[in-house]
Structure 1
């Protein structure tokens, strides 16, 4: 399963909604989302115990694992998670930022070039003159690129 498919399992569009909503701990499922220690996480593991549920989550933006043990009848926050595609207009290598436009031409230049393989692919493909689409994952006023692909002919 690719990273995109994992995020698709529980991703929700967040336009016009708050940054979180409340649910019972008993309703949480693996690959869903939850806020643990104030951080938006994807649930890697949910186990039932005599006291409630043990949760293991992965922070959506730092990839760190965070654990929590909660009673099943407790209420927790779930982040509103969205994914949106943007056309890559420019890579500001000196500043380490991506210049993006959505399908309406609205600019976005607050996304840093990611570290690792994804960032290397974005820089390399852009330098090769490819027209690219970057998918941005957003939750709780944070965002990060999660994938890049070559744009279809009439996509943007």
Structure 2
């Protein structure tokens, strides 16, 4: 499935974490000092890689959390992008379809024969940039 584990206390801005089964990039970390009756707590704010939805996680810093393994690949667009983009992986020559990216700066550069970087995370694929 592509998952590692770390503690909440090791998460930093820019790192990745799985919240509610969704792989997310951490955008904000705040930690509260230990109280009289417990351990330090961390408040993690993250944004989903696939949907852009904001997620929060409040947990003790010594709790274990899942971290998604991100596989980065290079592919080539082999059809005119419409609602889906057909990609051929330049290493394996496997072809597959990916949803059109939601980010306008990536979407606007997609053309037939363009090289793209795509990520495979937890069995899902996403185009992150056009080369």
- Give the structure with the larger strand fraction: 2
Q: How many positions carry a matched residue from both structures?
A: 124
Distance 2:97 2:13 in 1: 31
Any idea what the Cα deviations from partners look like across 1:92-132, whole Å, max 9, x if unmatched? Answer: 53xx222222223522222122245222321xx43xxxx31
Q: Could you tell me the TM-score, scaled by structure 1's length? A: 0.71
Match of 1:144 in 2: 126
Match of 1:29 in 2: 12
Match status 1:108 vs 2:90: no
- The alpha carbon displacement at 1:139 in A equals 1.0
Q: Could you tell me the TM-score, scaled by structure 2's length? A: 0.84
- The alpha carbon displacement at 1:28 in A equals 1.1
Q: Is the contact between residue 136 and residue 145 of structure 1 (CA under 8 Å) also seen in structure 2? A: yes
Structure 1 26/99 Cα, relative in aligned 2: closer, same or farther at 3 Å? same
Match of 2:37 in 1: none
Match of 1:154 in 2: none
- The alpha carbon displacement at 1:48 in A equals 0.8
Match of 2:47 in 1: 58
Q: 5+ unaligned residues in a row in structure 1: which ranges?
A: 1-17, 150-156
Which of 118, 121, 129 lines up with 2:109 in the alignment? 121
> SS of 2:80's equivalent?
strand
> SS of 2:67's equivalent?
strand
Alignment of 1:5-44 (within 5 A): 18-44=1-27
Q: Is the contact between residue 99 and residue 107 of structure 1 (CA under 8 Å) also seen in structure 2? A: no
Tell me the C-alpha RMSD between the 2 structures: 1.8
